[in-house]
Structure 1
Amino acid sequence: MIEIQVNEAEIKAMYQAELQKRLDQLENEVVFWDTKELKRQTNMSWNTIQDYFFHDPTFPKFKLNQKWYFPAKECREFLVSWAENMSQTFARKEAM
């Protein structure tokens, strides 16, 4: 009789590493977001984006002719940092 032992933790780690590799490849395929993609990625309306972070001088953006473009990687990093700061700000206000 043949017996096979499988280390589930090792398989899970291998699966997650491969999944992350594929996600990184997909993320690198899109270099710039347009306004429509920014709204989709943030799940926010254009007015909300403008009210909360569009005018922040550290928000990565540039305008080419009449259209705004946003570097995908830099925007993702900015938005994560912005969301963390916003949650801390709201937590402080609630504590008062």
Structure 2
Amino acid sequence: MIRVQVNDQEVREEVRRQVAEKLKEADTELVFWDAKELMRRTCMSWNFIQQQFFFDPRFPKFKIGNKWYFPARETREFLLRWLKEQKRS
């Protein structure tokens, strides 16, 4: 007869660790965001983005041809700073 005992706490910790690892991998997959990805990630419309922070000189953006590109890591950092600043307004 085989008996298996599972430590629920260890299983939960392992699942959390693996989920965090997968989320980190997913974040690093994209080097650049386009306007559609920026809107998806922020849950904001293009007009709202333009009204709120698009023209902020600190906002990282590059126009190649007719398309805007945003470096993912720098854009995420800017957005977090910008959001924290909104509390003060």
State if a TM-score over 0.5 links the two structures: yes
Instruction: Indicate the TM-score class for this superposition, using the shorter chain for normalisation.
Output: 0.7 to 0.9
Q: What count of residue pairs does the alignment treat as equivalent? A: 88
The DSSP-based 3-state class of the residue aligned with 2:63 is: strand
Q: For residues 47 and 9 of structure 2, what CA distance do their matches in structure 1 show?
A: 45
Q: For residues 49 and 38 of structure 2, what CA distance do their matches in structure 1 show?
A: 9
The corresponding residue for 1:73 is 73
Shift of 1:13: 2.2
The DSSP-based 3-state class of the residue aligned with 2:82 is: helix
The corresponding residue for 1:94 is none
Matched, 1:21 2:41: no
Q: For residues 60 and 32 of structure 1, what CA distance do their matches in structure 2 show?
A: 11
The corresponding residue for 2:5 is 4
Q: For residues 67 and 5 of structure 1, what CA distance do their matches in structure 2 show?
A: 53
Q: Over aligned residue pairs, what C-alpha RMSD do you find?
A: 1.8
Q: Output aligned runs, 1:16-95, within 5 Å.
A: 16-86=16-86, 88-90=87-89
Query: 2:55 corresponds to which letter in structure 1?
Result: H
Normalising by structure 2, what TM-score? 0.83
Query: 2:63 corresponds to which letter in structure 1?
Result: K
The DSSP-based 3-state class of the residue aligned with 1:60 is: coil
The corresponding residue for 1:93 is none
Shift of 1:11: 2.6
